[in-house]
C-alpha cells in the first residue's frame, strides 16, 4: 500500500505546536524549542494544550475533548503547514478515542512529527487517513530545545525542509541480528504504544513492512510481555518483511535486553537490525512512518525508495 506524502515545509511556514498527551514539563524548554524553530524560519502557533499544566489530571494536557479539538483544528486549518507535538508522555489513546476523523480531509496531508506516546497518533494517521508522518524529536524535549545546533533538530529539519537530501539513514554502530535485505513500508514506533493499539481501529498491521521498535523505562519482563503480545497478535506481525530495533534505555540490564531482542525477533525469518540511534535518550535520527524503503541489515542502512515528503509547488 502507498500512503500519501505531505508537502515539505519551507521558511515562512506556520506550524501548529500542541500536546496530545501529557503537559509540557518545563515551559522554558518549550520556549527554547520555539526559538530553534524560528532560527530556521518557521513560525509557531502555540496551542493552549502546550501551555496547560494538567487541568484534568496531572499527566494530561487539558481534557480529552480539548486535545482532540486542537489536533483536528491543526490538521484541517490551511494556515498550518505542519503539526509539531511539544511533548509525549501519556494520553494519546484518550485523544484518539475523542477524534472525529470524518472532519479531516484525507486528501490534504500535513506533516506531523513526534515520538514516544505520539506513536499512537502516527499509526492512526496511517490507518485512518493514509498519511506519511515522522517519528522524530518534539519541541519541548531533548535534542530540540537545546538549540538549533543539536543533532536531533538538524536531522529533523533536513527532512522537513530539504527532503530530497535525505535518501538514506545509516547506522554504523548498529548490529546485525539476522542478515539480509528486505523492502517494505516503514511502520512502527514505541513498542508499548503499538501494543496498546492492537484491536482498535487505529492499529496498522505490519504485513510487508519494515517494522521499527523502541521503548524506554520498561523492565525486561514487561518488554518480554509486549514483544510476545505482538507475536501472538498474528494479524499484526504475520508477513512482516524486516525489523529495525532502536533504543531501549532505562530498561534494565542491557545484556538482558539484547538477549530478549534476539529471542523474540531472530526466529521470524526476516532481516533484523538492532541498536540504531532512533528513540529515547540518544542522538536521534528521524524515522518516517509510511514510506517504501529497503533495509540492508548487513550494512546497517535504510534506503528510502520514495522521497519522504513531496516538494512544494
What CATH number does the domain containing 223 carry? 3.50.30.60
Residues 172 and 253 in one domain: yes
- Whole-number Cα distances in Å, 233 to 184, 205, 237, 290, 294: 20, 10, 7, 21, 25
280 an active-site residue? yes
Sheet holding 287-289, edge to edge: 43-46, 14-18, 82-85, 111-114, 133-135, 287-289
The catalytic residue among 69, 150, 280, 292 is 280
pLDDT for 268 equals: 96
pLDDT tens-digit readout, 40-61:
999 999 999 999 999 899 999 9
Domain ranges, residue 40: 14-164
Residue 308 buriedness (CB in 10 A; 0-12 / 13-18 / 19+): buried
CATH number at residue 153: 3.40.50.10740
Question: Are residues 228 and 110 part of one domain?
Answer: no
Residue 29 falls in the annotated catalytic set: no
The ranges of the chain with pLDDT < 70 are none
292 flagged as catalytic: no
Q: What's the pTM?
A: 0.97
Q: Are residues 206 and 298 in the same domain?
A: yes
Residue 21 lies in a domain: yes
Q: Is residue 241 part of a domain?
A: yes
Give the end of a domain, one of 164, 179, 213: 164
Residue 6 domain flag: no
Q: Assess whether 200 and 291 both reside in one domain.
A: yes
Considering the domain architecture, whether residues 80 and 219 belong to the same structural domain is answered as no
Beta strands in 3-42 (DSSP E): 14-18
Total of domains in the chain: 2
DSSP β-ladder status, 242-249 and 272-274: parallel
Q: Looking at 29, 214, 218, 292, which residue is catalytic?
A: 214
Side-chain half-sphere of 212: how many Cα atoms within 13 Å?
A: 32
Q: Is residue 293 part of a domain?
A: yes
Q: Summarize pLDDT for 203-216 with one digit per residue, the tens.
A: 999 999 999 999 99
Q: Up-side HSE of residue 150: CA atoms within 13 Å toward CB?
A: 24
Tell whether 97 and 23 lie within a shared domain.
Answer: yes
Catalytic position from the list 29, 69, 70, 116: 116
Amino acid at each position: 500500500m502507498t500512503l500519501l506524502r505531505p508537502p515539505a515545509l519551507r521558511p515562512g511556514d506556520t506550524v501548529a505546536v500542541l500536546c496530545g498527551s501529557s503537559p509540557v514539563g518545563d515551559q522554558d524548554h518549550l520556549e527554547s524549542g520555539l526559538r530553534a524553530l524560528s532560527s530556521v524560519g518557521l513560525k509557531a502557533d502555540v496551542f493552549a494544550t502546550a501551555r496547560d499544566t494538567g487541568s484534568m489530571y496531572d499527566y494530561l494536557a487539558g481534557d480529552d475533548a480539548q486535545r482532540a479539538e486542537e489536533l483536528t483544528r491543526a490538521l484541517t486549518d490551511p494556515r498550518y503547514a505542519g503539526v509539531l507535538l511539544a511533548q509525549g508522555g501519556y494520553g494519546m489513546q484518550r485523544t484518539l478515542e475523542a477524534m472525529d476523523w470524518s472532519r479531516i480531509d484525507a486528501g490534504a496531508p500535513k506533516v506531523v512529527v513526534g515520538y514516544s506516546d505520539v506513536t499512537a497518533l502516527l499509526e492512526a494517521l496511517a490507518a485512518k487517513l493514509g498519511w506519511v508522518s515522522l517519528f522524530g524529536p518534539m519541541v519541548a524535549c531533548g535534542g530540540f530545545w537545546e538549540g538549533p545546533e543539536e543533532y536531533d533538530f538538524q536531522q529533523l529539519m533536513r527532512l522537513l525542509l530539504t527532503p530530497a537530501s535525505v535518501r538514506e539513514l545509516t547506522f554504523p554502530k548498529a548490529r546485525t541480528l539476522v542478515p539480509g535485505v528486505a523492502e517494505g513500508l516503514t511502520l512502527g514506533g514505541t513498542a508499548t504504544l503499538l501494543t496498546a493499539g492492537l484491536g482498535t481501529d487505529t492499529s496498522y498491521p505490519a504485513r510487508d513492512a519494515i517494522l521499527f521498535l523502541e521503548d524506554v523505562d520498561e523492565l525486561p519482563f514487561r518488554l518480554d510481555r509486549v514483544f510476545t503480545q505482538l507475536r501472538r497478535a498474528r494479524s499484526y506481525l504475520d508477513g512482516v518483511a524486516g525489523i529495525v530495533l532502536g533504543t531501549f534505555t532505562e530498561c534494565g540490564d542491557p545484556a538482558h535486553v539484547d538477549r530478549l531482542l534476539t529471542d523474540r525477533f531472530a526466529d521470524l525469518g526476516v532481516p533484523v537490525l538492532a541498536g540504531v540511534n532512533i528513540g529515547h535518550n540518544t542522538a536521534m535520527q528521524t524515522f518516517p512512518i509510511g514510506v517504501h524503503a529497503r533495509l540492508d541489515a548487513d550494512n546497517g542502512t535504510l534506503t528510502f525508495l520514495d522521497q519522504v515528503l513531496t516538494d512544494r509547488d
